Each structure stands twice: as C-alpha cells, then as structure tokens.
Amino acid sequence: MTEPYEIGRRERRLPAPPHVVWRSLADPHQPGARPWLRLLADEIEPRVLVAQEPELVVWSSLWPRRPDDVLTFDLRPAGPETALRWTLTTPDPPPDDSPTGHLRHRVNHLLWSDLRLSYGQ
C-alpha cells in the first residue's frame, strides 16, 4: 500500500482546552455550542472517521470532487490552550498549486477563524 500524499499541514493554538476543542471537532453541531462549521457551496459535511478523546479526530473529505481526502486533527495541551495540528492527505496524486491553495485556505479559515471565534476570541 502506498503512503498517502500530504496536501497541507499547519499547527497553531486555539484559546480553549483540548477536551473542548476535541468535542468541537468530533461533534461540530453539538447542542449549545456556537455554530462554526460554515461550508461553502462546493463543500459537504465531513464524517468523523476516528475520534480518540482528547488527542485525535479524523474527518472524511469536505469536497465531493475529492472524496478520498482525509483531514486529521492532532491535539495537545499548550498551557490553558490547545495546540492543534491539521494534516490533509490524499491517496491520489496531489492537485496543482491553485486547488491545493484553495484546500489549505479553507481548512485554515474554518479552524483559525470560524472555530477560534466560536470560543469568543
């Protein structure tokens, strides 16, 4: 079996503890939480493929035209915050630079803007 291709990866901190961030990723529409997973017209709701509390969540692809892509979230404590690393992989050859940039941008926006703001910061 061939190793998947890495399309993108980034790590940053979020202003919430790991168990809170894990829950947000494992159940993006949990009752009582602020909505943050706002998808574009060319995106679909991801399925949670793996959820190991509090350090790992794996999603299916957000993009129907790229159904085999996988988005992995690794979480670890960083003081009172969470260090969150996302990695986007595919079993297929990676797309050209423009589509790759769009995919990376969308993941970054969802996490470092929308999810961050859902925590009030």
- Would you list the domain boundaries of the chain? 5-94+109-115
Q: How far apart are alpha carbons 87 and 65 in whole angstroms?
A: 19
Residues in the chain: 121
The CATH class, in words, for 5-94+109-115 is alpha beta
Instruction: Say what the pLDDT of residue 121 is.
Output: 67
Distances (CA, A) of 74 to 21, 57, 77, 90, 97: 10, 7, 11, 17, 25
Are 93 and 108 a contacting pair, CB within 8 Å? no
Instruction: Say what the pLDDT of residue 8 is.
Output: 95
Bridge partners, 6 (sequence order): 89
Q: Kindly state the average pLDDT of the residues 28-42.
A: 94
Please report which confidence band the pLDDT of residue 21 belongs to, taking 50, 70 and 90 as the band edges.
very high
Please report which confidence band the pLDDT of residue 118 belongs to, taking 50, 70 and 90 as the band edges.
very high
What are 71-94's pLDDT values in tens digits? Answer: 999 999 999 999 999 999 999 888
